[in-house]
Amino acid sequence: SYLTVCRDDALQAAREAEQALVRGADLGPMHGVPVAVKDQVYSAGIRTTLGTPMFKDYVPSEDATVLANLKSAGAILLGKLNMTELAITETIEFPYGTPNNPWNPERSPGSSSAGPGVATAAALCGATLGGDTGGSIRIPAAYCGIVGLRPTFGRVSRAGTMTACWSMDTIGPMTRSVED
């Protein structure tokens, strides 16, 4: 499910989160929560492939607004998650390898946000962000037995994310339960 693992940065952020707890610092609502994002979300200094070999070496200089917001709330980025090429669901092409449905590898993991669906269901992080044009959060959530939310269009900023259809795309959370 992961295309890029941010091991060193995540460990450093976890140490800093722990030190903040010890100091009694004002903690954000996502303090210390390990998250991962679909590889369509730009991340400063971290490869963002958009699921295509065409961008295999692309490294954005800024975080997408959704990622910056997660970080400012205290979340720890574990890495970037697999997706269909350029978020095109109709082809179901995963140039970097198809993520395995964690409940049954013989079954589909879903559509373009399959990486986030698999990582969430397999407890490889606390929560993920996926992208949804026509079901790309909801389908992997259903196939992997997790919760996926497609926010109202325009509710969540898409600044710094690659979109498949500007008038329909949304970025939304995927978790193991509604409570999460």
Q: pTM value?
A: 0.95
pLDDT at 56 over 90: yes
Q: Are 81 and 1 in contact (CB under 8 A)?
A: yes
Q: Which of 1, 43, 111, 136 is catalytic?
A: 136
Q: How many CA atoms lie within 13 A of 104 on its CB side?
A: 6
Least confident interval from 55-64, 93-102, 117-126: 93-102
Model confidence pLDDT, tens digit, residues 102-152 = 999 999 999 899 999 999 999 999 999 999 999 999 999 999 999 999 999
Check 1, 38, 71, 113 and give the catalytic one: 38
pLDDT cut 90: percent of the chain above it: 89
pLDDT for residue 142? 97
Token pair 């959370």 is found at 173
Asked whether 135 and 111 are in contact (CB, 8 A), the reply is yes
pLDDT band of 64, cuts 50, 70, 90: very high
With 0-12 / 13-18 / 19 or more C-beta atoms within 10 angstroms meaning exposed / middle / buried, residue 48 is buried
- What is residue 26's predicted lDDT score, i.e. its pLDDT? 81
Q: Strands, DSSP E only, in 2-112?
A: 2-5, 34-38, 76-81
Going by pLDDT thresholds of 50, 70 and 90, the confidence category of residue 91 is: low
Q: Which of 1, 43, 111, 112 is catalytic?
A: 112
What does the pLDDT average to over 99-104? 95
- Label residue 90 by pLDDT band (50, 70, 90): low
Q: pLDDT tier at 67 (50, 70, 90 boundaries)?
A: very high
Q: What is the mean pLDDT of residues 67-81?
A: 97
Residue 111 among the catalytic residues? no
Beta bridge partners of 76: 34
Q: Please state the rounded mean pLDDT for residues 148-173.
A: 92
Question: By the 8 A CB rule, do 180 and 147 touch?
Answer: yes
Q: Whole-angstrom Cα distance, residue 80 to residue 42?
A: 9
pLDDT tens digits for range 40-50 = 999 999 999 99
- How far does Cα 19 stand from its chain's mean position? 26
Give residue 108's pLDDT.
92
Task: Give the integer Cα–Cα distance in Å for 88 and 42.
Answer: 18
- 71 classed as catalytic: no
